[in-house]
Chains A and B, each alone.
Chain A
Amino acid sequence: MSLRAFSTLRSLARVLRDSPRSRPARAFAASSARVREVVPLTLRGAAVAALSGGALWYYGFEALDGVWYVAGLGLLALCALSLLSVLGAALRLKIWLAGRAASAPVKLGVETGRAVRSGFEAPALRFWLLVEPSLAVREPGQVEADGVRDGGLLREHLRFGDHGEVRRVARTLSVRDVFGLCSVGLREASAVELDVLPHAGALRALSLLRSLSGGDDVPHPLGIEQGDRLELKRYAPGDPARFIHWKVYARTQKLVVRMPERALSRAQRVAAYLVAGPGDAASAAAARVALEEGAFGADFRFGADGSPQPARDVTASLVALRRSSASRATSAVQLDAFLTELEREGPTSLVLFVPPHDGAWVSRIEAVLKRRARAARVVIGVDGIRPPGGASWLARLALSPAPSTRSELPALRELIARYRRAGCDVVVVDRESGRVLGDAHLAQRARPATREAA
């Protein structure tokens, strides 16, 4: 009971952490950012100017301290010079931005995590001493911008953290002095056509995703419900060690594992659906790899939140996958409609790509699967696993938490159990290592409690 309460509290904390900020908080953050852009003196500049002025007055003038007299004047002059330089450079950039010719938007297909030139450029201010320009993207979120000097120009390179279709980039072109005393931001926006897919990481080498076509929807009547272990296949990382056929290994020095028997009634067509949600990047990457590697076979249907109409080819499916990032607020709401549409065409084997967290979509999936006679396969993509336990109180007190996209093992195991209770075959794939994390892996990860906790 207490474990469940703790888990609920933990989920609540995660939801609060991951949820977008409240409207007043967002408005305040936006206002303060705007003020920082407009007011040329930075907090550091204001502090240094105040300190210099105070020292000049109290020591330079009152106590006739020659050191502080010149130092105070010099530091104030430095602040003034920085201010003038920054304002002059900002004016130069503003004139340049106003006078530049409009260019066609850049059309590119990119992956998350990789830098790509957005086509935006500005003067690098090579001959302006004391100042340097920099770029920061305001919209869309989770985008890092880097200004790369190329001759006299500063070219914008973007690195996306989330998949989606980006049609507009709003940025702040900042000019600050090299001492960090003054800074001015200029707002700028440009049209782009960037189609961002989740990066595959190490999933390309994952053989399991190549065998998502078909499934044992109806087991052999003489076998157990999950099917007998009759067929053999080469061992792949992630396969349970207890299914290794050691006799065959002794004869041939090759690792093979026993596989469930083939179904008597096999559903040839695969329906795959991507459930969007917070932290779904690895699951979306798994769906992308499965699509691009042909893991669903020739006859498949793909749907995703935001695109409930079944897509029949890879291109349309990838479009649906990209657009799913905009529908995280309505995760799995359209899954039922998608399946209803497909069921009319005959039996299908269902593969669901779901986020590695608990959320409202889990209940919706359970409800949909309860109405469906056939079992489904659930693929959960993760970016590494964080073992249970954690750091000592001293470490928690002294160290700030490391930014991590890793999934917490207890919550993940609970999620897996929940899907299994709904009759699903759950596959956990790790984008970082490119491995399928079976029960044995997860149990092993659960043992060393402290090594990766920090």
Chain B
Amino acid sequence: MRSSWLIASLRALVYALCTAMFIWPLAALSTAIAGGLGAGVGALLGDRASRARLRSPMLLGAGLVAALIIALALGQVARSSALAGMLSPSGFLTLVDALRFGLVALPLALALSALSTRHRALAFVEVGLGGAMVSQLVAEHRHGAINRPFEIADPIISVGGDPSVVFYALGGAAVLLLALVLVRERSIGRLIMQLGLLVLVVLFAGFGASSGVLPRPEPQGGGLGLTGKPDSEQNKDQHGQGRGRERRDNDNLEFRDQEQNQDKQTPVAVVLLHDDYSPPSGVYYFRQGAFSQFNGRRLIGTTRDGLDRDVVEGFPVDRVDVKDAPEAGAERATLESTVALLADHTRPFGLESPVSFEAAQNPNPERFRRVYKVVSSALTGDFTTLMGRSAGDVRWSAEDRAEYLALPSDPRYAELARTIVTDLPRDVADDPMLKAWAISQWLAKEGTYSLRSKHASASDPTAHFLFGDKVGYCVHFAHAATYLMRAVGVPARVATGYAIEESARQGGSAVLISSGAAHAWPEVYLEGVGWVVVDVQPQRTLDPAPEPPDADLQRLLGQLARGVRPLPPDGSPPGTYWKDWIRDAARWLGTRVGYALVLAMVALYLAKFWRRLAPRLASAETLPRVAYRAELDRLAEVGLVRRRGESREAFAERVRAEFPSFRALTALHVGARFGSRRAEGAPALRALASGVQSERARAFKPWRRLLGALVPWSFFRAR
């Protein structure tokens, strides 16, 4: 069967569905339905309009103008108090809204459908619009906010499911819908088969997406080079004590005039704190890299053995103990945490200061790239408790110390540093921690934070920043602070990683790290304490304050990282686990489908039996018909059926060689149908029918006949 109405109807259905999905979040359900209906009707009319002689530009213009006029006219109607008085105000508004969306969608859909039918290449507009309409329905989940939109995600979470499945399923549905717009197959049978094949393709794509077989989305690495694929050198996993020091010249820590500001809210990791810990500075610092070697322009990863050994190069396969890690004591406490990475990272990071890294089982490989545990020696005392300690490590050689004190030859650094520390009280003027603190505070007071600056092209970007407008971002501040600290004899370096305000925890134990939390900060080395963060927090900023992390998303990802079922956001008891729900639904559906199949089989066998039995019970008038029908069923059982367009007589003639009795039976049946009153009598008819059965027995083997008899729907083929 060939029919173009089927394609037109499917196309109209797709238009209606996509439009309704687009309008649904914007307006009432009735309005979405009206919009869908308008678009569906428009698509149907567009199919006809494409064959009209109206020129394409005129068609497009007419559609747009009609939509505009309708929108304006109904806008005026909506302001009519008289009409609103006739109905209830809410009913009137609902009606006008439904009319507005429905009648505006109609000409637009008509024009688009007609143009796309006329110019086949324009189908990409339909594909783009259709995909955009479907994705817009759940657009809030972009940038990793998989707990949004709440009305869709919450029910999934409440039954222990991952909302991402819904987004993937919607993507698959979008492919099917868009394929229906493109398809031009007119044969229903082939169309069904082709859509079946398409479903397989979509399932493959969806399965690949959800199981990680195919590459998954990757957030931008940003200017600090924290995320991204580890390079070949860094990708070597650490075993046991780890490998020896290799060159760690990280070129990603570069001064940029326009630091990337995209995907700031994209989650890149979740950290689960195993103990309650409040950092004295109010900020959690997760250190990933360190830059201490001055290369004449900026600080890079050291190339010397024995320095910065607290930075681990590769991800742990089992346990990696960090060398030169500070020991727990009065100022530090041991803290365990679990880091679940949502995006690839170049190195592992941990709450400063990491003591060991240990690989952990990934509870949700579909969601997390890698999971590892970190034991940190976290700072517990504030800077006042760190006063009185000398700077540097007695184990360092002179070269090591010189490395941590190297700075540009520009004398202004030392001059400025001296000026800053001059204000310190005389009795503590030589305290390294106080010097570092004073420099940090001075920079926080004098500097202005902005991701847009103009220092990158300078030969010494830090000097250009520090002795210029003092407008820059964390890399500028960290370098400036480090150079100034070094200028007053305090060993310092720049560390990179993530900085999260303690308030972002919002009482939970999970800390959500987004790509916007990437940060660079200065650190100083104090004898017996190790590297201590002395971050600069500028008081002035030209950029908007970062949005607080999504508490629901933080909790959801924390639950997924723990490997437990997500709990409903409102604190209500969890619903039925989605796998249980699916199992119950499958059982329910399977039982009923099974019953329905059994009933259908019984009904088919009964019908088949009745058609076979009917000649024995038929009256004289109906006997020719039912006898012929019964023999036709028997022939259909063994695969002998009339072809399309073949008359009954031609069919009988075709099989005459094997079934001569059938020809006579056909003649009697046709004659009876045309009103022949020639009475052949029931015995003669039954004799002919018996003849057909005998001829069938001779022509076909018993197993073939038995197989045919067992097929309950064989009589459907008889015609």
Assembled-state Cα–Cα distance A44/B115 (Å) = 13
A59 engages B193 (CB within 8 Å): no
Contact in complex: A61, B217 (CB < 8 Å):
yes
**Cβ of B142: which chain A residues have Cβ within 8 Å of it?**
59, 63-65
> Does any Cβ of A come within 8 Å of B185's Cβ?
yes
Query: Do B209 and A181 have beta carbons less than 8 Å apart?
Result: no
Q: How far is the CB of A48 from chain B (nearest CB, A)?
A: 5
Closest residue on chain B to residue A64 by CB atoms: B217
The residue in chain A whose Cβ has the minimal distance to the Cβ of B177 is A71
- Interface check A190, CB cutoff 8 A: no
List of A residues within 8 angstroms of B143 by Cβ: 63-64
In the bound complex, residues from chain A placing their C-beta under 8 Å from that of B175 are 70-71, 74-75, 78
A130 — which chain B residues lie within 8 A by C-beta?
194, 197
Does B701 sit at the interface, judged by CB under 8 A? no
Contacts of B121 in A (CB 8 A): 42-44, 47
The answer, among A44, A72, A77, for a CB contact under 8 Å with B123, is A44
Q: Which residues of chain A from 21 to 76 have a CB within 8 Å of any chain B CB?
A: 42-44, 47-48, 50-52, 55, 59-75
Nearest CB in chain B to that of A82: its residue: B182
Q: How far is the CA of A367 from the CA of B134 in the complex (A)?
A: 74
Q: Say whether B29 faces chain A, with CB atoms less than 8 Å apart.
A: no
Interface string of B220-256 (1 = CB under 8 A from A): 1000000000000000000000000000000000000
User: Residue on A with the closest CB to B207?
Assistant: A70
Interfacial chain B residues near A132, Cβ < 8 Å: 185
Q: How far is the CA of A47 from the CA of B123 in the complex (A)?
A: 8
User: Are B205 and A73 in contact, CB atoms less than 8 angstroms apart?
Assistant: yes
Q: Bound complex: CA of A51 vs CA of B208, how far in Å?
A: 21
- Min CB–CB distance A132 → chain B (angstroms): 7
Establish whether residues B197 and A48, one from each chain, have CB atoms under 8 Å apart when the complex forms: no
Q: How far is the CB of B144 from chain A (nearest CB, A)?
A: 5
- Contact assessment for B139 and A65 in the assembled complex, using a CB-CB cutoff below 8 Å: yes
CB within 8 Å of A: which B47-67 residues: 53-55, 58
Query: Given A180-B120, A180-B123, are A74 and B171 also a contact pair (CB < 8 Å)?
Result: yes
Which residues of the partner chain A approach B206 to less than 8 Å between Cβ atoms? 70, 74
Residue pair A129, B58 in contact (C-beta under 8 Å): no
A-binding segment of B124-132, B653-661, B663-671: B124-132
**Interface contact B184-A179, CB-CB below 8 Å:** yes
Nearest-neighbour CB distance to chain B for A406, whole angstroms, equals 16
Residues of B within 8 A of A81 (CB): 197, 201
The yes or no answer to B354 lying at the interface (CB within 8 A) is no
Is A252 among interface residues, defined by CB-CB distance under 8 A? no
Could you tell me the distance in whole angstroms from the C-beta of B172 to the nearest C-beta in chain A? 5
Instruction: Specify which chain B residues have a CB less than 8 angstroms from the CB of A398 in the assembled complex.
Output: 54-55, 58
Query: By CB atoms of chain A within 10 A, which of B120, B135, B138 has the most?
Result: B135
A174 CB, nearest partner CB in chain B, Å: 13
With A and B bound together, what is the CA distance between A399 and B49 in angstroms?
12
Q: How far does the alpha carbon of A341 sit from the alpha carbon of B171 in the complex, in Å? A: 80
Q: In the complex, how many angstroms separate the beta carbon of A317 from the nearest chain B beta carbon?
A: 40
Label chain B's interface by main secondary structure: helix
Q: Are B131 and A55 in contact (CB under 8 A)?
A: yes
The reply on B416 being an interface residue by CB < 8 A is no
Which of B162-170, B538-546, B614-622 is near enough to bind chain A?
A: B162-170
Interface residues of A toward B: which range? 35 or more
Q: How far is the CA of A300 from the CA of B354 in the complex (A)?
A: 114
* Contact call A66/B164, Cβ cutoff below 8 A: yes
How far is B124's CA from A397's CA once the two chains are assembled, in angstroms? 27
* A44-B204 contact, Cβ under 8 Å, with A74-B175, A400-B53: no
- Contact among A42, A71, A399 for B120, CB-based, below 8 A: A42
Instruction: Say whether, besides A64-B217, A399-B53, A181 and B182 are in contact (CB < 8 Å).
Output: yes
B123 pairs with A67, CB closer than 8 A = no
Q: In the complex, what distance in Å separates the CA atom of A44 from the CA atom of B122? A: 7
- Contact between B205 and A70 (Cβ–Cβ < 8 Å)? yes
Interface string of A399-431 (1 = CB under 8 A from B): 110100000000000000000000000000000
A241 in contact (CB, < 8 A): no
Complex CA gap A73/B170 in Å reads: 13
Query: Could you tell me the distance in whole angstroms from the C-beta of B160 to the nearest C-beta in chain A?
Result: 19
Q: Does chain A have a CB within 8 A of B83?
A: no
Decide yes or no whether A189 CB sits under 8 A from chain B: no
CA distance A67 to B176 in the complex (A): 12
Q: Tell me whether B454 is interfacial, beta carbon within 8 Å.
A: no
Provided the pairs A60-B217, A178-B183, A179-B183 are in contact, do residues A69 and B168 lie with their beta carbons within 8 angstroms?
A: yes
Q: Do residues B134 and A71 form an inter-chain contact, with CB atoms below 8 A? A: yes
Complex: how many Å from CA A339 to CA B120?
55
> Which chain B positions have C-beta within 8 A of A47?
121, 123-124
| Nearest CB of B to A181, in Å | 7
Across the interface, A43 reaches (CB within 8 A) one of B120, B144, B193, namely: B120
- Please, what's the 1-or-0 string for B66-108, where 1 marks a CB less than 8 Å from any CB in chain A? 0000000000000000000000000000000000000000000
* Distance (whole angstroms) from the CB of B18 to the closest CB of chain A: 12
Q: What is the minimal beta-carbon distance from A36 to any residue of chain B, in angstroms?
A: 12
Contact of B141 among A42, A66, A179, A400 (CB under 8 A): A66
Residues of B within 8 A of A52 (CB): 127
Q: Residue of A at shortest CB range from B182? A: A179
Report how far A397 CA is from B57 CA in the complex, Å.
Answer: 10
Closest to B197 in A: A129
Cα-based distance from A78 to B200 in the complex (angstroms): 11
Q: Which of B124, B193, B205 contacts A77 (CB 8 A)?
A: B205
Interface residue? B317 (CB, 8 A): no
Partner of B124, one of A48, A61, A78: A48
Contact of A48 among B141, B168, B182 (CB under 8 A): B182
CB distance from B442 to the nearest CB of A (A): 39
CB A123 to nearest CB in B, in angstroms, measures 15
Q: Are A64 and B171 in contact (CB under 8 A)?
A: no
Give the residue among A55, A67, A69, A398 with the most B Cβ atoms within 10 A. A67
What chain A residues lie within 8 Å of B217 (beta carbons)? Answer: 60-62, 64, 69
Chain B residues in 8 Å Cβ range of A179? 179, 182-184
Q: Are B141 and A65 in contact (CB under 8 A)?
A: yes
Contact (Cβ within 8 A) A73 B209:
yes
Give B265 Cβ to nearest chain A Cβ, in Å.
10
Residue B704 is within 8 A (CB to CB) of chain A in the complex = no
Once A70-B172, A179-B184, A399-B55 are accepted as A-B contacts, the answer to whether A48 and B179 lie under 8 Å apart by CB is no
Asked if residues B184 and A71 are in contact (CB atoms below 8 Å), the reply is no
Across the A-B interface, give the 8 residue pairs with the lowest CB-CB distance, nearest first.
Answer: A70-B171, A66-B167, A74-B175, A47-B124, A67-B135, A43-B121, A179-B182, A71-B171
A-B contact pairs, 10 of them (CB 8 A): A44-B124, A48-B127, A55-B131, A62-B262, A69-B167, A70-B170, A73-B205, A74-B171, A178-B183, A179-B182
Please report B residues at the A interface, Cβ cutoff 8 Å.
53-55, 58, 120-121, 123-124, 127-128, 131, 134-135, 137-139, 141-144, 146, 164, 167-168, 170-172, 174-175, 178-179, 182-185, 190, 193-194, 197-198, 201-202, 204-206, 208-209, 214, 217-220, 262-263, 266
List 16 extra interface pairs beyond A64-B217, A69-B217, CB under 8 A. Answer: A47-B121, A51-B124, A62-B263, A64-B219, A67-B134, A69-B167, A70-B170, A70-B202, A71-B131, A71-B175, A73-B214, A75-B127, A77-B205, A178-B184, A179-B184, A400-B53
